[in-house]
């Protein structure tokens, strides 16, 4: 028994990811945590998307199920699970059955390497970014087979559009990623494809890659930010499921549980590509302004952190308070809205529920002020906050941009993003090697 406890405890001070430490217990815990966290994020995203879109269009959005519609996604999920699962008579049953699973597998597997913190990843692969791009590109197989297996016109056209779109934007996406990877090779340990290594080289160079070689990093980030919207089939690139033309595109014939799998996969793929963007250009788990520390301070029991190598400046302290403050703010928001709920007795339970939810959020916020908890999750907080910003951008795009026409989409992909990406790649290489190149030129002149 003690041996088991020791095995579990031994990981905590190792400073490695569970995969690198080879610890089965913590690897399982991390996998479960990521899975649950992802599902909760998808549920929250569903609610937020409907609410934010509604507010952008001056509507209220879901208001009936739970306070401010907070329980709406759960009601939706229940409805989808109870719905009849229809397989069209003329469909290819086996392929129809497999397709949603391919998409979900591809969308969830990539989270094996997503670095939520220097130790908070399931594992760190030598080929991290390559693995993410490769596995997430497998989801197009699921979409194509879904469209074909339905044996119906709209899904087939949707699948054709989707595969054409994803294949063409993958190229530009890859070029942007390569330019970021070339930037990692300027740090002392040399270039790396590992997701944790990429963030660490940003820490070492004291610069997020989005600001590196300004404006080259910014342009690369821009290309990726456009291509990733197209990769995930979201507005304004949502032609594969254009409602007005194809009813629902490749998943027209799907219903119930299988449809909800497509839904789950779409949102977790959005989170996955956002976390690639955050890792490559926005410094991953690093807090904003990671190079500024301010004068060192010390407060008994609270600061500095127990980890001796951690920076201990006043700015570090202020940013370490952010996770707790954010949750306290969210909890206060819930209380504020609970007070504004209608005073009618029918709303009593809802008001109490909202206040209880606010109390829960506040409690989480208070826990995050405890130094042990704070030091362990600050990195997760910053990573998630950056990804959440991308999620908001996705909703914002959907609320503001009209859909592209298909030829426009192809033009943007092949005639704008691809040449820009190629030029960017060469420019990044030249600027990165400028010292060596100048030395060579000088040498050639002297000869």
Partner 1 sequence: MNLTANPPVATPYFFYGLAAIMIIGGILVITRKNAVHSALALITTLLAQAALYLMLYAPFVAGVQIILYAGGIMVLFLFVIMLISIERTMKERQFNKQWLVGIAAAGTLGGLFIAVYTTTTKGRVLFPQGTVSYVEAGNTQGVANLLFDRFQGTYMFAFEIASLLLLVAIIGAVVMAKKRI
Backbone angles phi, psi at 313, to 5 degrees: -80, 175
Interaction pattern, residues 149-178, with partner 1; x per rule: CB under 8 A: -------x--xx--xx-xx-----------
Pick from 75, 80, 193, 218: which binds partner 1 (CB under 8 A)? 193
The smaller minimum CB distance to partner 1, of residues 27 and 235, is found at 27
| Cα-Cα end-to-end distance for the chain | 74
Measuring CA to CA, how many Å separate 273 from each of 25, 42, 145, 231, 276?
28, 14, 22, 9, 5
Report in angstroms how near the CB of residue 140 gets to partner 1 at its nearest.
6
Between the CA atoms of 384, 37, 265 and 78, what dihedral angle is there, to the nearest 10 degrees?
A: -130
Q: Which of 8, 22, 214, 416 binds partner 1 (CB under 8 A)?
A: 22
**Is the Cβ of residue 137 or residue 187 nearer to partner 1 in the bound state?**
137
Nearer to partner 1 by Cβ, of 98 and 314: the residue is 98
- Based on the shown chain and the rule CB under 8 A, indicate whether residue 198 belongs to the binding site for partner 1: no
20 binds partner 1 (CB under 8 A): yes
| Distance in angstroms (rounded) separating the CA atoms of residues 221 and 287 | 19
Between 162 and 384, CB nearer to partner 1: 162
Q: Which of 10, 28, 126, 408 is close enough to bind partner 1 by CB under 8 A?
A: 126
Backbone angles phi, psi at 29, to 5 degrees: -60, -45
Question: Do residues 253 and 88 touch, judged by C-beta distance below 8 A?
Answer: yes
Q: What is the DSSP string of 86-100?
A: ---TTS-HHHHHHHH
Interface with partner 1, residue 127, by CB under 8 A: yes
Per CB under 8 A, does 321 bind partner 1? no
CB of 415 to partner 1, least distance (A): 16
**At closest approach, how far in Å is the CB of 137 from partner 1?**
4
Bond from prior residue into 215 cis (ω within 30 degrees of 0):
yes
Q: Looking at beta carbons only, is 163 or 337 nearer to partner 1?
A: 163
The maximal CA–CA distance of the chain, rounded, in angstroms, is: 92
Cβ atoms of 271 and 387 within 8 Å: the answer is yes
Among 82, 94, 188, 444, binds partner 1 (CB under 8 A): 94
Instruction: Single out the segment in contact with partner 1 by CB under 8 A; choices: 91-99, 253-261, 269-277, 343-351.
Output: 91-99
Min dist CB 190 to partner 1, Å, is: 7
C-alpha span between 85 and 46 (Å, rounded): 22
Classify residue 327 as exposed, middle or buried by CB count within 10 Å of its CB (0-12, 13-18, 19+).
buried
**What is the per-residue binding string for partner 1 in 130-149, x denoting contact by CB under 8 A?**
xx-xxx-xx-xx--xx-xx-
Residues 53, 92, 367, 410: which binds partner 1 (CB under 8 A)?
92
Number of chain residues interacting with partner 1 (CB under 8 A):
33
DSSP state letters, 182-234 = HHHTTSTT-----HHHHHHHHHHTTS-GGGTTTTHHHHHHHHHHHHHHHHTT-
Residue 288's SS3 state is coil
CB 179, min distance to partner 1, A: 16
Burial 209-221 (b: 16+ CB within 10 A, else e): bbbbbeebbebbb
Does position 95 interact with partner 1 (CB under 8 A)? The reply is yes
Q: How far is the CB of 362 from partner 1 (least distance, A)?
A: 40
- CB burial of residue 6 (10 Å; 0-12, 13-18, 19+): exposed
Helix (H, G, I), strand (E, B) or coil at 170: helix
How far, rounded to the nearest angstrom, does the alpha carbon of residue 178 sit from its chain's CA centroid?
19
Choose one: 70-78, 119-127, 277-285, 296-304; the region binding partner 1 (CB under 8 A): 119-127
The stretch among 58-66, 118-126, 319-327, 420-428 that binds partner 1 (CB under 8 A) is: 118-126
* Residue 125 binds partner 1, judged by CB under 8 A: yes
Which stretches of the chain bind partner 1, using CB under 8 A? 16, 20, 22, 92, 94-95, 98, 124-127, 130-131, 133-135, 137-138, 140-141, 144-145, 147-148, 156, 159-160, 163-164, 166-167, 190, 193
């Amino acid at each position: 028994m003690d041996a088991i406890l020791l095995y579990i405890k031994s990981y905590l001070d190792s400073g490695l990811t569970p995969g690198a430490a080879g610890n089965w217990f913590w690897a399982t815990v991390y996998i479960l945590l990521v899975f649950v966290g992802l599902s909760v994020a998808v549920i929250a995203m569903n609610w937020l998307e409907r609410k934010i879109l509604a507010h952008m269009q001056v509507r209220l959005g879901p208001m009936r199920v739970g306070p401010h519609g907070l329980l709406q996604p759960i009601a939706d999920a229940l409805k989808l699970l109870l719905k009849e699962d229809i397989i069209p008579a003329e469909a290819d049953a086996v392929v129809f059955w497999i397709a949603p699973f391919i998409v979900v597998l591809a969308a969830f597997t990539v989270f094996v390497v997503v670095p939520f913190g220097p130790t908070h990843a399931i594992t760190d692969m030598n080929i991290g970014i390559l693995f993410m791009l490769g596995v997430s590109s497998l989801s197009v197989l699921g979409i194509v087979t879904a469209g074909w297996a339905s044996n119906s016109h709209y899904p087939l056209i949707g699948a054709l559009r989707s595969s054409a779109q994803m294949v063409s934007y993958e190229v530009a996406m890859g070029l942007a990623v390569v330019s970021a990877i070339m930037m990692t090779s300027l740090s002392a340990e040399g270039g790396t494809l590992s997701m944790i290594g990429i963030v660490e080289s940003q820490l070492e160079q004291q610069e997020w890659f989005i600001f590196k070689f300004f404006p080259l990093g910014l342009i690369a980030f821009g290309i990726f930010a456009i291509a990733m919207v197209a990769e995930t089939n979201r507005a304004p690139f949502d032609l594969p499921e254009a409602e007005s033309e194809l009813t629902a595109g490749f998943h027209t014939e799907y219903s119930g549980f299988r449809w909800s799998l497509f839904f789950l996969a779409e949102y977790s793929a959005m989170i996955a590509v956002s976390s690639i963007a955050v890792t490559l250009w926005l410094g991953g788990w690093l807090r904003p302004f990671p190079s500024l520390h301010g004068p060192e301070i010390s407060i008994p029991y609270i600061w500095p952190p127990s980890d001796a190598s951690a920076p201990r400046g006043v700015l570090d302290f202020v940013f370490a308070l952010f996770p707790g403050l954010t949750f306290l703010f969210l909890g206060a928001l819930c209380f504020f809205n609970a007070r504004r709920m209608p005073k009618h007795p029918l709303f009593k339970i809802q008001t109490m529920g909202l206040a209880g939810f606010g109390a829960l959020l506040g409690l989480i916020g208070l826990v995050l002020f405890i130094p042990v908890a704070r030091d362990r999750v600050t990195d997760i907080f910053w990573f998630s906050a950056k990804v959440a910003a991308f999620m908001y951008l996705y909703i914002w795009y959907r609320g503001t941009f009209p859909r592209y026409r298909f030829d426009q989409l192809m033009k943007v992909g092949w005639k704008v993003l691809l040449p820009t990406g190629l030029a960017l790649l060469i420019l990044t290489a030249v600027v990165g090697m400028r010292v060596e190149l100048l030395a060579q030129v000088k040498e050639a002149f002297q000869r």
